[in-house]
Amino acid sequence: MGSVCTEVGNGTDRRGVGFLVTPSKLPPGLLGSAALFWGVEAGLVLWAIPSALFLEAPRFVSKRWSLGREDFNRLSDLCAALFGVMAVISYATLEAPEAILTIFRFGPLTLLPIILGQLFSERGRVDVSAFFLALRRQAKSEGISWELDLGYPFLASLMLGAASGNPTGFQFYGGCTIIVGIALWSIRPRRFLTFRWAGLWLATALIGAGVIETIQVGRVVIYRKLLDSYIARIGPRVDPTRAPTAIGRVGRLQQSDSVFLRVRPAERGGSVPELLSDAAYDIYRNREWAAGRNDFKSVLASEPVGTWDIAENRDEKAAIIVSKSLPKGRGLLSIPYGTHRIGGLPAESFERSRFGALRVNGGPSFSEYRASYWPDGFSEAGPESGDLKLAGEEKVIRRIAQEWGLTKLPPGKAIDAMLAHFSENFHYSIYRKEEAGERPLEEFLTTRRRGHCEYFATTAVLLMRAAGVPARYATGFVVREQDRYEEGFVVRGRHAHAWARAYLNGKWVTVDATPASWWPIENARRSGFRPLLDIFDWMRYRWSAWRWRPVEENKGIAWWVWVLALVAGFIIWRNFRDWRPQSADDSAVFFEELRLGLDSELLTLEAAFAERGDGRRLSESLRRWCNRKAGAAPSADAELWRRIGALHERHRFDPKGLIESERTELGRGAQRLRPEKVSS
């Protein structure tokens, strides 16, 4: 290996003049290979090829530059500026997970300036103070330094960049194993022979593969459990084709206090409907409600962008703004009955079912959409045969309908009578983890006479059907709680609800059989931490609303991003416009006659201090003595002491010696520091 430059400031001389500094301790070709691997995995081959060539060039090219602390500070600032601009642009234009991966993907490019600076520098190391402003100040004042080889950290950044792409396949694992293996082999303890070490590494790779397998299996299990828990928390009402009502299931309904929606009137002073619907179902079977025919039809986009007309020729009578998260940009919208138009929701596709459910795909992860609706209107298709079918516990339903006299009354009165029965003889209760019996509806109607909203909704639908009224089962949310931080209302998981829809007098109407006491009972379960957690919910909402605010198509990247890039570019130009790195003399120099430098004024200065008992100690070099004096000197002189120590050393030992201005500076500095003569 060539010469090693030891620490700055400790007075140690450079040895082995005439040899090239080895660029890095990494084995030859490893950085270049890692760069190519990164390019292939991250889809940046066109960037990776020149990068790889530059990274390996120092092994073949003898040209070097004398880069000092200030030079590396500039390069570090350039890397920071590039990284900052890339991070801001990524985060402003992409969703958060993708933005983070993009930052890792392009990260190695932003670090190239400083790693190339190290590889082409004479010293072959970078001072850590280049990366931290506080350390720069300390390094300047105290002259200490801590140098490191950036080769290995840069290799790690290349691996992370490669990991950011191509999620399928195991070629990444193979490449990563080889590259990391070679890097670790180069720093292995010498007592391990290559063959033995390679066997150990193979075992390590196999263990790693086992860990990956365990992660994947465990992830599926955990994800399934989390999904069940998540669905149970917000209520089992997200799938328009299937909505288990939890009757007979164990411990599914755990209402969440988290804010699920925010709703406000579109116009100041407007009103907000009490019910927002997600979906409706018509088939009851095996304790589950399902949609008999899953026929989502596409809705064509309208003008302006993000507008979808669900019904034709409907003037807007009322409108609300609903703020809702849409994981991965898809999901059902919560809308009031009578919705005829959705606005402010740009998406790839928009669909509507015959039950009025609206489903979006390829939309933003968070949306504030406008739902224009006609109060007292409805947007479902008319009743069909399925809306009168009874199933499951048909006998008991018919018997109860008979008992309550529902079959003898006209539809409207039958509904009223049913509601009166529920109100007078039934109670609301929170569902607990208990096994419902084989015949839950019979138990509910005859014995228990208490249950949660799905019992009431299910039995209401079936009783109305028994009375000859077409009915459907609907799910959604109740909007009642005022928002403490914003204008409008908040809707929590706890406000999820189920009710019945009945076709009466030519239109669909809502029939809510759940006793009114359900609202205060559910709200009484609120956690004591809720006010504090609401603040975080609100902050998250505010951030999401700003992050996903609508951007018109033809604008593209926001203007402020361009301004930021221009400012960063200006700063970089100002930092580098007068940068002229000094070329190192790398020609082989053998046995060049060294100048003695014994005329240095520092020798006279030291003699003067020695007379006063404060000269150089026997084991101390003049450079170290100057540093010691600097430590005891006032701050104004401390820098001068270090400077003349460094100048003397170069004058004494550097074959190139000092330039004229430096020689003068040495003499003047020593003169200035001469001790005052004190008369005894």
**Residues of this chain that bind other proteins (CB under 8 A):** 41, 97-98, 100-101, 104, 134-135, 137-138, 148, 152-153, 156, 159-160, 162-167, 170, 172-173, 176-177, 180, 184, 187-192, 197, 200, 203-212, 215-216, 219, 609, 612-614, 632-634, 675-676, 678, 680
Q: What does the alpha-carbon distance between residue 167 and residue 17 come to, in Å, rounded to a whole number?
A: 49
Tokens of 386: 């399925």
Shortest spacing between CB 628 and other proteins, in angstroms: 8
Nearer to other proteins by Cβ, of 163 and 321: the residue is 163
Nearer to other proteins by Cβ, of 216 and 661: the residue is 216
Nearer to other proteins by Cβ, of 190 and 268: the residue is 190
Q: What does the alpha-carbon distance between residue 139 and residue 143 come to, in Å, rounded to a whole number?
A: 5
What backbone torsions phi and psi does residue 380 show, to the nearest 5 degrees?
-85, 160
Question: Which H or E run contains 464?
Answer: helix 453-466
Shortest spacing between CB 185 and other proteins, in angstroms: 9
Nearer to other proteins by Cβ, of 205 and 571: the residue is 205
Nearer to other proteins by Cβ, of 108 and 235: the residue is 108
Tokens of 247: 């009757």
CA proximity to 322, closest of 630, 116, 119, 331: 331
Three-state SS annotation for 549-585:
CCCCHHHCCCHHHHHHHHHHHHHHHHHHCCCCCEECC
Nearer to other proteins by Cβ, of 163 and 360: the residue is 163
Count helices and strands (H / E) in the chain: 19, 25
**Residue ranges with strand state E in 353-469:** 358-361, 366-373, 427-428, 450-451
Nearer to other proteins by Cβ, of 415 and 622: the residue is 622
Nearer to other proteins by Cβ, of 103 and 280: the residue is 103
Shortest spacing between CB 231 and other proteins, in angstroms: 19
Shortest spacing between CB 175 and other proteins, in angstroms: 10
Shortest spacing between CB 597 and other proteins, in angstroms: 26
Nearer to other proteins by Cβ, of 45 and 211: the residue is 211
Shortest spacing between CB 138 and other proteins, in angstroms: 6
Shortest spacing between CB 177 and other proteins, in angstroms: 6
Shortest spacing between CB 151 and other proteins, in angstroms: 11
**Whether the Cβ atoms of residue 44 and residue 108 lie closer than 8 Å to each other:** no
* Count of residues making up the chain: 680
Find the Cα–Cα–Cα–Cα dihedral 377, 379, 384, 387, rounded to 10°.
-70
- Strand ordering across the sheet containing 507-511: 275-281, 471-478, 496-504, 507-511
Shortest spacing between CB 101 and other proteins, in angstroms: 6
Shortest spacing between CB 399 and other proteins, in angstroms: 52
Which residues make Cβ contacts (< 8 Å) with residue 555, sequence separation at least 6?
none
Nearer to other proteins by Cβ, of 381 and 632: the residue is 632
Q: Is 44 exposed, middle or buried (0-12, 13-18, 19+ CB in 10 A)?
A: buried
How far is CA 424 from each of CA 63, 421, 442, 514, rounded to the nearest angstrom?
A: 95, 5, 18, 11
What backbone torsions phi and psi does residue 289 show, to the nearest 5 degrees?
-105, 140
Signed CA dihedral, 36, 39, 40, 46: sign only: negative
